[in-house]
């Protein structure tokens, strides 16, 4: 209870806040355990600005551990996707977007001039909200990354990578007889698993997932969630999700974003059972969001 | 309409029901508008095609006249033993005149003699020369040879010709009665270049000229247009003054009258750069300028319509910007790009005005062999023939229009097949 008491000035400021900006300004710092020892990702004072000087992310400090699944939750427009897209420099593709602060992957600054975004994205794969397979065959979809980076010396090796990736994504049994049929002909859940297979075919170190199951039905969602649990053995996974149940099911740590600020980070169990911050509690108990 | 036994309908249902009939009527009306407009355009198309085909039909056949030619060695001054050079130099027109005089010995005065000569086409002596050159043994013998009839005679056999005199008409009737006249398919139309004599005039030089011009235009404007569209859409900075300026200018160029491009071509390509005039090369340079805006605008629209998720997927896998564009965006945009290219090329094929400015209106007999040979193109050939006074050129003009349309259909068919192949990749 002592932590709640110490937050009172902040809560008071929030209750007084009349506009979105004032409310946002009232969230002064992150509670919980955002920092780790020997993290995979170390991010400090990350700010993101969009065109017109609109700030999407305010001073986020967050560490992402090795081989953990970290879930990012929060109401719409809270900046969780924007933060995720900083991690593989996807924000570079948005004109006039600006990212400041320190983002270290294994201690190396990913926004430094020396680091090639192409190389970074080979190490940090991404799965998007809407399944977006290429309008090519299933085989070519998975083989695209390895071909791009020259990961296979010959056709046999490439076949092996494709098979291995499809197996890891839990799709191989369903598609092994029709590897040459178009990837866009699969069902939504299969397409998303194909996209995951395509991502892991490059053997990345980190996989970013931006609401990967929001377009899928519950059964497909369950399959993907099982898959994430397995993938955790070999990859670090950051997942943005709208579903708190999903975050609770699959992640070890959870970060709660609100109005562009990182409000609370904690072990998933702690965060869902005993949230420190009033906003987190309001959100997970369904009072808003 | 309301039945007391059915439960009362809600207010919304009542309102929707009231408006329903009106909505359906509107839909039906709209469908009729569409059907009517399609029917009207089809009707006009059919009228146009029927008219052109009907007018063009005479151009596809030609009357031939059979004459017994005696290769008189005395009058020619050569024998089978003479050298090819001597055989070439001999005057074969005498033989044609003799053969005709033999048929109509009563032609005595000068006018009649001249008229007699005009029964067959002016290329008759050359035909005999070629025969003698091919095989010198014909010299001294008598051969039956089919000659192309003159356009006036040809016209007389078709529909009567008020331009020819009574005695000429009598000769022609006599020839016909003797079975010396035959109507055959007009191969000259497809194997000859242009000519002042309608019966010898053919479309081949214009056809080859058009082919060279279009092929070169395509190979210039397609890569340039596509590259410009890719750059403007994918790489150029957004909201940049200079990029906006370029965009405005491209849109403006699409609306510039094509004759202005002709003048530009004359001033820049011919006078400044010294490109040879009335050649497919300079023609295609000018047509490239004309088609570029169309191709760029259509390609940009096609590239813009490729879903961003595809770009993100490729970028997320570590493809570079250029790889993303060439592996995914361009193949997906290709059907749209090809549509724009078809429109541009069809435009270029039918373009006449700018080509007049750069000398492609010249009277070209020879079939062009390379892109730097003087050449005519189909629309200009149509223009030239439509302008010619001889009546036989009327049919030729329509025939040339038909051939142009066939050329266009072939070109579009090829493009549609190509587009289908790209579309299958979705």
Nearest Cα neighbor of A251 from A199, A195, A212, A202 is: A212
**Minimal CA separation from B233 to chain A, in Å:** 13
- What pLDDT sits at residue A1? 37
The predicted pLDDT at position A289 comes to 52
Looking at residue A127, what is its pLDDT?
Answer: 92
Q: What is the pLDDT of residues B301-346, one digit of tens each?
A: 999 999 999 999 999 998 989 999 999 999 999 989 998 999 899 9
What is the per-residue pLDDT for A3?
A: 41
A16 to chain B, any CB pair closer than 8 A? The answer is no
Q: In the prediction, which pLDDT does B178 show?
A: 87
Which residues on A lie below 8 Å from B425 (Cβ)?
A: 135-136
Is B170 an 8 Å CB contact of chain A? Answer: no
Q: Any CB–CB contact under 8 A between A119 and chain B?
A: yes
Are B317 and A199 within 8 A, CB to CB? yes
Encoded tokens for B395: 């049919």
Residues in chain B: 426
Q: Which chain A residues are Cβ-neighbours of B238 within 8 angstroms?
A: 95
Say if A40 is an interface residue toward chain B (CB within 8 Å): no
As a three-state string, the secondary structure of B119-167 is CECCCHHHHHHHHHHHCHHHCCCEEEEEEEECHHHHHHHHHCCCCCCHH
Please report the pLDDT score of residue B123 as a whole number.
86
Kindly report whether the global pTM for this prediction surpasses the value 0.90: no
Neighbours of A262 (CB within 10 A): 29
Neighbours of B229 (CB within 10 A): 27
Mutation choice for A interface testing from B318, B321, B326, B328 by most A CBs within 10 A: B318
Separation in Å, CA of A60 to nearest CA in chain B: 23
pLDDT at A277 over 80: yes
Judged by CB atoms closer than 8 Å, whether chains meet at A132 and B238 is answered as: no
Partner-chain contact A132 B309, CB within 8 Å: yes
pLDDT tens by residue, A219-254: 888 888 988 988 888 889 999 998 888 999 999 999
pLDDT one-digit tens code per residue, A62-116: 999 988 999 999 888 888 889 999 998 988 888 788 888 989 998 888 888 888 8
* B342: enclosing H helix or E strand: helix B330-350
**Is residue A4 very low, low, confident or very high in pLDDT (cuts 50, 70, 90)?**
very low
pLDDT digits (tens, 9 = 90+) for A22-39: 676 667 778 888 888 888
The per-residue pLDDT for B8 is 64
Query: For residue A218, what pLDDT is reported?
Result: 87
CB contact under 8 A, A199 and B307: no
Chain B residues closer than 8 Å to A90 by CB: 312, 315-316
CA distance B154 to B64: 8
- DSSP β-bridge partners for residue A108: A105
- pLDDT, residue B285, reads 94
- A136 in reach of chain B (CB within 8 A): yes
Query: Cβ neighbours of residue A98 under 8 Å, at least 6 residues apart?
Result: A48, A49
B interface test, pick of A90, A93, A123, A184 with most B CB neighbours within 10 Å: A93
> ipTM of this model?
0.84
Tens-digit pLDDT profile for residues A170-205 = 889 889 899 999 888 898 889 999 999 999 999 899
Tokens of B416: 């549609």
B332 at interface of A, judged by CB pairs closer than 8 A: yes
On the question of pLDDT at A258 being above 80, the answer is yes
Q: Give yes or no for a contact between A102 and A143, defined as CB atoms under 8 angstroms apart.
A: no
- Put simply, whether B425 touches A (Cβ < 8 Å) is yes
**Cα distance from A57 to chain B (closest Cα, Å)?**
21
CB A115 within 8 A of CB A108: yes
The parts of chain B modelled with pLDDT lower than 70 are: 1-9, 424-426
**Where does the pLDDT of residue A2 fall: very low under 50, low under 70, confident under 90, or very high at 90 and above?**
very low
Q: Does A198 touch chain B (CB under 8 A)?
A: yes
Residue A88 at interface with chain B, using a CB cutoff of 8 Å = yes
The helix/strand/coil state of B394 is helix
pLDDT at B3: 53
H-only helix segments in B198-329? 204-230, 241-253, 258-265, 280-304, 308-316, 321-324
């Amino acid at each position: 209870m002592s932590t709640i008491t110490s937050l009172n000035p902040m809560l008071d400021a929030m209750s007084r806040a009349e506009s979105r900006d004032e409310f946002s300004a009232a969230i002064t710092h992150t509670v919980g355990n955002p920092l780790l020892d020997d993290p995979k990702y170390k991010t400090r004072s990350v700010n993101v600005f969009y065109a017109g000087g609109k700030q999407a992310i305010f001073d986020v400090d967050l560490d992402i551990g090795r081989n953990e699944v970290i879930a990012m939750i929060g109401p719409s427009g809270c900046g969780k996707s924007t933060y995720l897209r900083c991690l593989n420099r996807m924000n570079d593709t948005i004109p006039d977007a600006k990212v400041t602060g320190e983002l270290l992957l294994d201690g190396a600054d990913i926004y430094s001039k020396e680091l090639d975004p192409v190389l970074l994205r080979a190490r940090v794969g991404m799965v998007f909200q809407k399944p977006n397979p290429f309008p090519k065959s299933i085989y070519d979809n998975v083989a695209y990354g390895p071909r791009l980076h020259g990961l296979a010396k010959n056709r046999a090796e490439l076949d092996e990578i494709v098979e291995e990736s499809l197996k890891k994504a839990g799709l191989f049994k369903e598609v092994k007889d029709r590897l040459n049929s178009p990837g866009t002909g699969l069902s939504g859940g299969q397409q998303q698993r194909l996209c995951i297979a395509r991502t892991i075919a490059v053997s990345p170190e980190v996989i970013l997932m931006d609401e990967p199951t929001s377009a899928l039905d519950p059964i497909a969602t369950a399959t993907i969630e099982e898959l994430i649990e397995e993938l955790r053995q070999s990859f670090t996974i950051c997942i943005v999700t709208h579903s708190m149940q999903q975050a609770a099911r699959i992640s070890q740590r959870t970060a709660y974003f609100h109005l562009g600020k990182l409000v609370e980070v904690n072990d998933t169990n702690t965060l869902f059972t005993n949230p420190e911050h009033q906003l987190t509690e309001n959100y997970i108990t369904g009072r808003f969001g | 309409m309301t039945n007391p036994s059915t439960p009362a309908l809600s207010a919304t249902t009542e309102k929707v029901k009231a408006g329903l009939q009106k909505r359906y009527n509107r839909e039906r009306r709209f469908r009729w508008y569409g059907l009517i407009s399609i029917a009207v355009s089809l009707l006009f198309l059919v009228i146009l095609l029927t008219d052109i085909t009907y007018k063009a039909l005479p151009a596809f056949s030609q009357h031939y006249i059979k004459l017994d030619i005696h290769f008189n060695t005395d009058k020619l001054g050569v024998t089978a033993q003479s050298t090819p050079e001597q055989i070439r130099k001999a005057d074969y027109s005498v033989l044609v005149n003799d053969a005709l005089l033999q048929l109509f010995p009563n032609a005595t005065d000068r006018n009649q003699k001249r008229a007699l000569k005009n029964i067959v086409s002016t290329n008759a002596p050359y035909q005999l020369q070629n025969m003698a050159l091919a095989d010198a043994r014909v010299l001294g013998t008598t051969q039956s040879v089919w000659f192309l009839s003159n356009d006036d005679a040809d016209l007389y056999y078709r529909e009567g010709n008020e331009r020819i005199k009574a005695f000429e008409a009598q000769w022609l009737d006599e020839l016909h009665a003797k079975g010396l006249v035959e109507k055959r398919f007009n191969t000259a139309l497809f194997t000859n270049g242009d000519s002042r004599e309608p019966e010898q005039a053919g479309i081949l030089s214009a056809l080859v000229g058009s082919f060279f011009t279009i092929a070169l235009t395509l190979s210039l404007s397609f890569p340039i247009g596509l590259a410009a569209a890719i750059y403007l859409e994918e790489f150029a900075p957004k909201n940049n003054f200079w990029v906006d300026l370029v965009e405005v200018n491209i849109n403006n160029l699409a609306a510039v009258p094509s004759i202005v491009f002709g003048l530009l071509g004359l001033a820049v390509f011919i006078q400044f750069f010294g490109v040879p005039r009335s050649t497919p090369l300079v023609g295609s340079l000018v047509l490239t300028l004309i088609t570029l805006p169309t191709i760029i605008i259509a390609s940009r629209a096609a590239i813009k319509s490729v879903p961003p998720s595809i770009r993100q997927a490729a970028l997320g896998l570590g493809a570079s910007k250029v790889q993303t564009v060439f592996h995914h965006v361009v193949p997906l945009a290709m059907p749209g790009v090809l549509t724009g290219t078809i429109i541009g090329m069809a435009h270029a094929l039918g373009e006449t005005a700018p080509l007049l400015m750069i000398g492609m209106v010249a009277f070209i007999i020879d079939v062009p062999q390379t892109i730097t040979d003087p050449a005519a193109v189909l629309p200009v050939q149509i223009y030239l023939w439509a302008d010619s006074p001889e009546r036989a050129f009327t049919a030729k003009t329509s025939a040339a229009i038909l051939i142009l349309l066939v050329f266009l259909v072939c070109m579009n068919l090829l493009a549609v097949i190509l587009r289908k192949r790209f579309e299958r990749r979705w």
